[in-house]
């Protein structure tokens, strides 16, 4: 197993109280796997990603659990060793490419610097790799001479992917990489991520777009209010959702090829400083019963993880 | 209800004086470059396209937030573009807009209820107690019980709730025509359907005509009776929703459709080359030709007209394909 997250809890101590943004979450990923973490804003999907690469700043902290990655346990790694994992072994692509790019430096210099920081190459070799990487992500190699502002949003995101991939990481985490981009550009960026996967890298896509996750990934984990509430094979999960939230979410989004009414989900996501007692989806759940006043156990049903009292194992 | 003819909006490009002296040329961003369409009473027209295609500018011109560089707009057979100020003001009440960003569209220092009352006062519909009663009733109607929400401030509301306020503020005027500009794209996924339902319930109640601007073709399909696809300031295809979605004739529409994520996995892919062109420097001939895998010589020279009966498209070699 390349990545194993075990009972991870990340919390934020705020004036309003303790927010358990990621609450007792477990998942695993093998080489070449493409998993999507799907959920609405505030569900903890990004916090989960940032926890894995340990980019959680005060007032946040990883309060429990273990993260095993390629033979190392990351939560107990020194910051110095963690810096080597970040970038070199786990690449990151963020929603806004300018998070990763310096507006004042040429694209080529930025890739070269990243390379030389992590691997033993000369400036000349690094520059050559930079050109190759740009070509690989579908940009003309002479773009090494460009500054970020001379590129479109989609081209910048390609540069970020080129930078991330140039270090040959085993895992690439992409946090809403196409949310700010048009669908045509999104399609091309997603193709690119898929190619990176074919080369044996594991991909973790964080997205709010269920259809995109369904189309692109092998597995989907659905997060709600800090919990993974359902996880399994992408095809089966979208065709036969088990958790009432997953079902409700799928029924609430329109699909361009499907002629059907959409059904709004009632209510809104909870305030995590004061989460509802028991199941966190209970106040919005059409199937809630007395039992749901207690936290549901996560159970395995034919290879599918579901955290709901409806699927309690007798 | 509404007719638009040859609508154009050009913005001059800011240049330094040296550049002006050197080039002796003024450049324009051709944001909207000759758009013609109509909207019937009670009809919803979805206006789709990528960012920068001119769809939002078109919407802003229709509600009077921008003045067109050229073209004519008729509202119920009266020409809006040549109206006197007074007449125009009376008309504004009937043409309302719902904006994309519910965080920017409300006044942070005004109570929720006051937003609605203000709207009534500006258009001389009601004031005082009467306005308050109407505001309370409208808040109830959009799912924000007046008793609870009238006195709240915008910062106390979520994005979804703010968008309900914005919708209430527009609908309290009982408009005949509404431009909704990406009204759900900044709203949480699980709350979008409820907002769309709310908008559509007003459409039924008021027999509203609507232009629904969106980059999301699945939303366009859901709400629109017809779809108009824009590319670089022009409509390249317009027709009944089902026709446009299942038998797109313009290669751009087909490429756009084939890149929309869907729960139905197997679908055709239609190629599109490179990136969108610069609206300052629009390609000659068909403006889509540099990105079109089917382009031939004539496409580089002659710009195709938007032609057809009910289903119109601007292409020399329209596709025959079924999605």
- Tokens 């519910």, residue? B102
Is residue A230 a part of any domain in this protein? yes
Q: Are residues B115 and B242 in the same domain?
A: no
The pLDDT score that the predictor gives to residue A261 is: 86
Check if B21 contacts A (Cβ < 8 Å). no
Under DSSP, the state recorded for B134 is: H
Give the CATH number of the domain where residue A67 resides: 3.40.50.300
Q: Which residue has the tokens 């395995």?
A: A300
Q: Which of B315, B231, B242 is nearest to B279 (CA)?
A: B231
Contacts of B323 in chain A (CB under 8 A): 257
A37 domain residue, yes or no: yes
Query: Which residues of A lie closer than 8 Å to B, measured between beta carbons?
Result: 40-41, 152, 154-155, 182-187, 208-212, 214-216, 235, 238, 248-250, 252-258, 262-266, 268-269
How far apart are the CA of B159 and the nearest CA of chain A, in angstroms? 11
What is the full per-residue pLDDT of chain B (323 aa) written as tens digits? Answer: 999 999 999 998 877 777 767 766 678 899 999 999 999 999 999 999 998 899 999 999 999 899 999 999 999 989 988 888 888 888 889 999 999 988 888 999 999 999 999 999 999 999 999 999 999 999 999 999 999 999 999 999 988 999 999 999 999 999 999 999 999 998 888 889 999 999 999 999 999 999 999 999 999 999 999 999 999 999 999 999 999 999 999 999 999 999 999 988 667 889 998 877 788 889 999 999 999 999 999 999 999 999 999 999 999 999 999 88
Q: Quick check: A173 and A206 in contact, CB under 8 A?
A: yes
Considering the domain architecture, whether residues B90 and B149 belong to the same structural domain is answered as yes
**Residues B245 and B161 both lie in one domain:** no
B235 and B211 assigned to the same domain: no
Q: Are B117 and B36 found together in one domain?
A: yes
Residue of A nearest to B291 (CA): A184
Instruction: Judge contact between B157 and B165, C-beta under 8 A.
Output: yes
Is 70 exceeded by the pLDDT of residue A14? yes
Q: Which of A41, A155, A211 is opposite residue B262, by nearest beta carbon? A: A211
Residue A314: its pLDDT value, please? 55
Q: Which residues contact A215 (CB under 8 A, 6 or more apart)?
A: B261, B262, B263, B265
Instruction: Give the whole-angstrom CA distance, residue B206 versus residue A82.
Output: 60
Domain with B219 in it? 2-224
Structure tokens at B87: 């007449």
How far, in Å, CA of B278 to CA of B283, rounded? 9
Task: Provide the residue range defining the domain that includes A219.
Answer: 3-80+211-311
Supply the DSSP symbol for B316: S
On whether the CB atoms of residues B281 and B270 are closer than 8 A, the answer is no
Q: How far apart are CA A58 and CA A14, in angstroms?
A: 10
Q: Identify the pLDDT of residue A313.
A: 65
Strand partners of residue B177 = B95, B209
Chain A partners within 8 Å of B218 (Cβ):
211, 253-256
Question: Does B53 lie at the interface with A, CB-CB under 8 angstroms?
Answer: no
Q: What pLDDT does A254 receive? A: 93
Q: Are residues B83 and B146 in the same domain?
A: yes
Looking at the structure of chain A, the number of domains it has is: 1
Helix (H, G, I), strand (E, B), or coil: what is residue A282? helix
Q: Is A249 close to B259, i.e. CB distance below 8 A?
A: no
| pLDDT value of residue B24 | 65
């Amino acid at each position: 197993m390349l990545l194993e997250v075990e009972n991870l809890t990340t919390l934020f101590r705020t004036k309003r109280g303790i927010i358990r943004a990621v609450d007792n979450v477990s998942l695993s990923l093998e080489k070449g796997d493409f998993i999507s973490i799907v959920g609405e804003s505030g569900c903890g999907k990004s916090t989960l990603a940032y926890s894995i690469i340990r980019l959680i700043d005060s007032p946040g902290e990883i309060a429990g659990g273990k993260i095993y990655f390629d033979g190392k346990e990351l939560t107990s790694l020194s910051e110095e060793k963690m810096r080597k994992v970040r970038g070199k072994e786990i690449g990151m692509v963020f929603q806004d490419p300018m998070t990763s790019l310096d507006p004042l430096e040429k694209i080529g210099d930025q890739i070269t610097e990243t390379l030389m920081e992590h691997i033993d190459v000369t400036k000349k070799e690094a520059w050559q790799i930079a050109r190759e990487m740009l070509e690989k992500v579908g940009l003309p190699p002479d773009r090494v001479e460009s500054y970020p502002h001379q590129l479109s949003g989609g081209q910048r995101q390609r540069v970020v992917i080129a930078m991330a991939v140039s270090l040959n990481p085993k895992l690439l985490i992409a946090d809403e990489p196409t949310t700010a981009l048009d669908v045509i550009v999104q399609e091309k960026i997603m193709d690119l991520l898929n190619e990176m996967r074919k080369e044996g890298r594991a991909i973790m896509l964080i997205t709010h777009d269920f259809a995109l996750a369904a189309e692109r990934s092998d597995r989907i984990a659905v997060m709600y209010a800090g919990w993974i509430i359902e996880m399994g094979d992408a095809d089966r999960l979208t065709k036969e959702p088990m958790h009432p939230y997953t079902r409700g979410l799928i029924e609430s989004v329109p699909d361009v090829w499907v002629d059907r009414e959409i059904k709004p989900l009632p209510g809104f996501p909870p305030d995590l400083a004061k989460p509802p007692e028991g199941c966190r989806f209970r106040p919005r759940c059409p199937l809630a019963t007395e039992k749901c006043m207690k936290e549901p156990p996560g159970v395995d049903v034919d290879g599918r993880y579901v955290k709901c009292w409806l699927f309690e194992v007798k | 209800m509404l007719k638009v003819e040859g609508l154009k909006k050009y913005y001059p490009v800011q240049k330094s004086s040296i550049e002006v002296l050197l080039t002796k040329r003024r450049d324009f961003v051709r944001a909207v470059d000759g758009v013609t369409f109509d909207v019937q009473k009670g009809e919803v027209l979805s206006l789709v396209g990528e960012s920068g295609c001119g769809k939002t500018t078109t919407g802003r011109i229709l509600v009077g937030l921008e003045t067109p560089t050229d073209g004519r707009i008729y509202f119920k057979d009266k020409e809006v573009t040549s109206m006197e100020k007074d007449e125009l003001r009376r008309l504004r009440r009937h043409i309302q807009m719902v904006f994309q960003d519910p965080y920017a569209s409300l006044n942070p220092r005004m109570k929720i209820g006051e937003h609605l009352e203000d709207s009534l006062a500006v258009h001389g519909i009601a004031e005082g107690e009467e306005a308050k009663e109407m505001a309370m009733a409208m808040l109830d109607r959009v799912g924000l019980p007046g008793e609870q929400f009238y006195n709240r401030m915008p910062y106390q509301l979520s994005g979804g709730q703010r968008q309900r306020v914005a919708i209430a503020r527009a609908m309290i005027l009982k408009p005949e025509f509404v431009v909704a500009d990406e009204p759900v794209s900044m709203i949480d996924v699980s709350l979008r359907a409820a907002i769309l339902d709310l908008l559509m319930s007003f459409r039924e109640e008021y027999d509203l005509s609507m232009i629904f601007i969106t980059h999301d073709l699945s939303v366009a399909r859901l709400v629109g009776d017809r779809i108009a696809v824009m590319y670089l300031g022009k409509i390249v295809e317009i027709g009944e929703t089902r026709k446009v979605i299942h038998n797109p004739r313009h290669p751009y529409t087909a490429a756009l459709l084939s890149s929309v994520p869907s729960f139905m996995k197997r679908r055709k892919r239609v190629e599109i080359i490179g990136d969108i062109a610069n609206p300052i420097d629009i390609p000659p001939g068909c403006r889509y030709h540099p990105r079109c895998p089917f382009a031939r010589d004539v496409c580089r020279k002659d710009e195709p007209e938007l032609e057809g009966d009910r289903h119109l498209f601007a292409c020399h070699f329209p596709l025959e394909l079924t999605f």
